[in-house]
Structure 1
Amino acid sequence: MPDRMHDVVVAGGGPAGLAVALGCAQAGMDVVVCEKRPGVLDKACGEGLMPGAVRALAALGVDPPGHPIDGITYRQGALAAHAPFRCGSGRGVRRTQLHDALSEAVRRAGVPVSSTSVTDVLQYDDHVRAGVLRARYLVAADGLHSPIRDLVGLGSRGRTSAPRWGLRRHFALTPWSGGVEVTWAPRSEAYVTPVAPDVVGVAILSSVRGGFTDQLTAFPELAARLAGARPVSSVRGAGPLRQRTTGRVAGRVLLAGDAAGYVDALTGEGLALSLTTAAELVRCLRAGRPADYDRAWVRTSRRSRWLTESLLWARNRPALGRLVVPAAVRVPWLFAAAVHQLAR
């Protein structure tokens, strides 16, 4: 019904949008999700859920299937540094299975999902019109290259660092590690995440564009491991990864997930950050104080942004980038402390 007034319209049915919708529904709000893409959504993603992300999902009543992960290992040539999680187990989860689990929880909560596309936004004193829908608030969770972010003037065209892209594919292979392995090459990193007892996900982040097979040549040992393995998914890509915003709130429109601003996937906690900031967004709406969300987002994401920015700054300087893994090996307590900060 076009003239019905909802409490919240969520534009975007990815993890951030579904987490916001589920949180709003559990808080007693009338919420509808708009997602024009049919079926189960997939995305290029490292698929490692940090312990904090597992807990955030549990708080929503969501428990996706996957493979336990016990920590992070950095590799470079013969060097390897491992840091176990101190605050519980993480989980490797196929993005499609995460979407299934969140979608089922949203369905059980009675939240309707519409194929309506939000292509225009009009704001009034007491509501916002998102296409044909009206609501007290609109949450834009429409991804890395959010059209709504630009529509409401929160996009930034400021100077950015060298662009980076991500690629991901799955292979039928028994995991050889209990955690996420990150192998560093001169201009890229490869992330191997166990997502099932017989499947690993391989994600490559790089400042050089190229196909998955070409990118894999920068990691000869990993390429040798994968040589006889059967691919069980197609290659998916994403980027450029860095997305700046001028804020997260414009009147009655709030940005969530990647749409709210993104640094890089280097530290692997994008999903954890999306889930924890989604909870802050719901809290602010429930309190009737949407303007507080911007400060809450900054506060909640500060640790993650600082660590990611610092590591990316080093990565973008070849002489320093070569020293990251050797430093983790030489000063294991510092590496362990950084992983703990990201995981909790």
Structure 2
Amino acid sequence: MLSHLHDVVVAGGGPAGLAVALGCARAGLDVVVCEKRPGVIDKACGEGLMPGAVRALGALGVDPPGHTIEGITYRQGSTVARAAFRTGTGRGVRRTALHNSLRSAVERHGVPILALPIDNVSQHSDHVRAEGLRARYLVAADGLHSTVRELAGLAEISTACTTRFPRWGLRRHYALVPFTDTVEVTWASQSEAYVTPVGPDTVGVAILSSVRGGFTQQLSAFPDLAARIANAEPISSVRGAGPLRQRASNRVAGRVLLVGDAAGYVDALTGEGLAVSLVTAAELVRCIRMDRPSDYEHAWKRTSRRSRWLTEALLWARRQPSLARRIVPTAAKNPWLFALAVDQLAR
């Protein structure tokens, strides 16, 4: 006897996968989520939601607790550039709080979440099979190092850029009353430190670097920040992620569609990852509802283009020593230009 035919099986229960599942459920589709990790899932993440991400969550009926973010601040030594968001406020949200809010919403809509890893996939003319489940579509939302992306033949061979310029991320939380209402990005020669207020008495510190090393070692590149948090109690363990850049040859292979980090990832430098994941998740649901999966590749490129171009351009400048040291001074001397860039990021 054939197993039940679902409309959608989502592989991965992180924010992107849960956003797809919630969008499908709200559209009346039969959807199931497969996530091998139990409970609330944490991840190394800057945790600053841009205004666009807050709006995308609101459209799904999700309102996670956190701390209001008014804009972005860049620091390099004594040089400071600051720009406010023009399209609404952002929000600093602990990754666990975001996941809990999304998962609760999915469960309220009656979506099953199965503790099931997806390690085999077979496609047929009118459905796809995965671990004994059948569905019209399989959505891969299983992260940077996606198994389903590989199984679907969508993993792109590493390029010189991915192998020569790898980047990694680390994150830790501190019991500290926020000293800023913006995401503060401090620039060092080979790394950036992000301070994000995520609650009335909690800040998150994330470090992105092209050099591998432990959190304490990485923090030493930011003496002013290290001094500022020296007496604050760490309240979470260090989490890491990387290499950050991952490529996919396409977002669609038959009835398999990629979303979130599994769809390809440039870098966390601009902090837009969650916003892009949520917006492209909505596009994916729209394409599935129309039964036009092939439209999703164009929709993904269209909705993520601005973010990808901005991030690639900033990364390119970051790799040029003569340009890298001018990024923050240029932003400080040209506040209108920095405000324009921040406005683009916030949408």
Fold shared by both chains (TM-score > 0.5): yes
SS in 2 for 1:155: coil
Q: 2:246 aligns with which of 243, 246, 251?
A: 243
Q: Deviation at 1:318?
A: 1.5
The structure 1 segments of at least 4 consecutive aligned residues displaced by more than 3 Å after TM superposition are none
Q: Report the equivalent of 2:335.
A: 332
Q: Does 1:190 align with 2:193?
A: yes
Q: Report the equivalent of 1:49.
A: 49
1:85-126 CA-to-partner distances (Å, cap 9, x unmatched) read 000010000000000000000001110000111100000000
CA distance in 2, matches of 1:138, 1:289: 14
SS in 2 for 1:126: coil
Matches within 5 A, 1:99-178: 99-159=99-159, 160-161=161-162, 162-178=165-181
CA distance in 1, matches of 2:223, 2:2: 56
TM-score, L = length of structure 2 = 0.98
Q: Does 1:271 align with 2:274?
A: yes
Q: Deviation at 1:330?
A: 1.0
CA distance in 2, matches of 1:277, 1:318: 34
CA distance in 1, matches of 2:247, 2:324: 23
1:290-336 CA-to-partner distances (Å, cap 9, x unmatched) read 11000000000000000000000011112211110011011111111
Q: Retained in 2: the 8 A contact 1:75–1:81?
A: yes
Q: Which amino acid aligns with 1:75?
A: R
CA distance in 1, matches of 2:62, 2:43: 19
Q: Deviation at 1:158?
A: 3.6
Q: Report the equivalent of 1:179.
A: 182
Q: Deviation at 1:2?
A: 7.4
TM-score, L = length of structure 1 = 0.99
Q: Which runs of no fewer than 5 residues in structure 1 stay unpaired?
A: none
Aligned residues: 344
CA distance in 2, matches of 1:163, 1:36: 28
CA distance in 2, matches of 1:143, 1:19: 14
Q: Which amino acid aligns with 1:190?
A: A
Q: Retained in 2: the 8 A contact 1:11–1:118?
A: yes
SS in 2 for 1:138: strand
Q: Which amino acid aligns with 2:236?
A: S
CA distance in 1, matches of 2:323, 2:246: 24
Q: Retained in 2: the 8 A contact 1:137–1:252?
A: yes
Percent of aligned pairs with the same amino acid: 73
CA distance in 1, matches of 2:85, 2:75: 17
Q: Which amino acid aligns with 1:198?
A: D
Q: Deviation at 1:157?
A: 1.0
CA distance in 1, matches of 2:208, 2:140: 26
Q: Report the equivalent of 2:62.
A: 62
Q: Which runs of no fewer than 5 residues in structure 2 stay unpaired?
A: none
Q: Deviation at 1:185?
A: 0.1
Q: Report the equivalent of 2:76.
A: 76
Q: Retained in 2: the 8 A contact 1:2–1:133?
A: no
CA distance in 1, matches of 2:150, 2:320: 31
Q: Deviation at 1:217?
A: 0.3
CA distance in 2, matches of 1:133, 1:315: 45
CA distance in 2, matches of 1:288, 1:2: 22
CA distance in 1, matches of 2:322, 2:166: 19
- Bigger mean CA offset, 227-236 vs 313-322: 313-322
